[in-house]
Amino acid sequence: MQDGKSSAEDDILPDGFKVKKGDDITYLAYAMRMMKSIWGGDAEEFHPERWLHDEIFQPESPFKFTAFHAGPRTCLGKESAYRQLKILAAVLLYFFRFKLKDSRKEATYRTMFTLHLDKGLHLYASPRL
């Protein structure tokens, strides 16, 4: 179970689902990232521009994008992880150009505890001169 909780009493969730006292409750972050009711009809497509408004990054509610959870128990390493990701991306993109080995191949995923690219993502990297 992933950060699950148990119901302290009988209750009804916002979508009308009934839970009984003692029921285990959890959520799947991957499933939330694919919900059309949250992200629209193209929820399963990779569209990073969905976070841009007037070409400026506008983060979504942490309760919609739960990679680091949300609320008072947000992951303490969230900002450090984002900072490391930005630094690594900046350095790699400064020194290298990247090209897909096969631009016709679509990425497919394996759903596990964390999300994995099925068969990897094969790239060519060439130094920027």
Per-residue pLDDT of 38-73, as tens digits, reads 888 998 888 888 889 999 988 888 888 888 888 888
**Residue 105 in this model has a pLDDT that exceeds 90:** no
Q: Are residues 68 and 96 in the same domain?
A: no
Q: Are residues 69 and 95 in the same domain?
A: no
Q: Are 128 and 94 in contact (CB under 8 A)?
A: yes
* pTM confidence score: 0.67
**In 10 A of CB 11, how many CB atoms?**
13
**Residue 7 in this model has a pLDDT that exceeds 50:** yes
For residue 116, the cross-strand partners are 110
Chain centroid to CA 109: 13
Range of the domain at 121: 90-129
In the structure, what pLDDT confidence band is assigned to residue 88 with cuts at 50, 70 and 90?
A: very high
The answer to whether residue 28 sits within a structural domain is yes
Q: How many domains does the chain have?
A: 2
Distance CA 9, CA 97 (A): 56
The answer to whether residue 80 sits within a structural domain is no
Listed in sequence order, the residues at least 6 apart from 9 whose beta carbon sits closer than 8 Å to its beta carbon are: 21
Distance CA 26, CA 37 (A): 19
